[in-house]
Amino acid sequence: MRIKKKDIFFETLENMADTIVQAADYFAEQIASLQDIPQFTKTMKDYENKCDSYTHTIITELNKTFITPLERDDIMDLTTTMDDVMDGMEACASRFDMYHMSTPDKHIIRFAAILRECAFEIHKAIHLLSQKKLLAIREHTIRLNDLENQGDDLMRDSIRELFATIKDPIELIKRKEIYERLESTTDACEDVANMLESIIMSNS
């Protein structure tokens, strides 16, 4: 019996989701105890390049495919929002090298844990999308919204503590930017959830 070949769009989106979860897992592990910052930033850049290649594949296939499994705009928007998640993590990692920061604080470690959870939820949702189990995706979009709210709360707590405890203005600026980039990456995860909700509404 011949096995039906998986649709190129779903396959590529799954590959992106797999890469995001691998990157988030690695990011969280490294942030917990940074040992080799140049290697950390290089590995995160490799993950980001991998996601970029999947984005390029989607664009190429959209340009040559007449019938797509979802609306063309939905495929492109979902791809873009997922790529934004990867870009956000890579941008955060690069700041540790640029700013010569080797001691992540408890807030940065917690942000990394939230992003790891977000990545797993995205991963589950994208694989359900490939299986056309649209309504089952909602559990994961709700969880992503909750995690983004946790990111907002953490942002407020981290900034409050930062200004209360850090006296060195340069250190304050560096940490504040990293907090903001991490929080904006949780926002990007919520953007993925919102895009998935839009797809559910359009196709249910």
Please give the pLDDT value at position 5. Answer: 60
Stated pTM of the model: 0.93
pLDDT digits (tens, 9 = 90+) for 124-140: 999 999 998 999 999 99
Say yes or no to pLDDT of 3 above 80: no
Residue pair 123/15 in contact (Cβ under 8 Å)? The answer is: no
Distance CA 31, CA 101 (A): 11
65 by DSSP, 3-state: which?
coil
| Residue 1 pLDDT grade (very low, low, confident, very high; cuts 50, 70, 90) | very low
Query: Over the Cα atoms of the chain, what is R_g?
Result: 18
pLDDT digits (tens, 9 = 90+) for 29-80: 999 888 889 999 999 999 999 999 999 999 999 998 888 889 999 999 999 9
Distance CA 59, CA 64 (A): 9
Distance CA 20, CA 18 (A): 6
Q: Could you give the residue ranges of the DSSP H alpha helices within 69-133? A: 72-98, 106-130
Closest CA to 9 of 81, 84, 70, 82: 70
Residue with tokens 């649709």: 7
Write the single-letter amino acid at 48: E
DSSP 155-196: HHHHHHHHHHH---HHHHHHHHHHHHHHHHHHHHHHHHHHHH
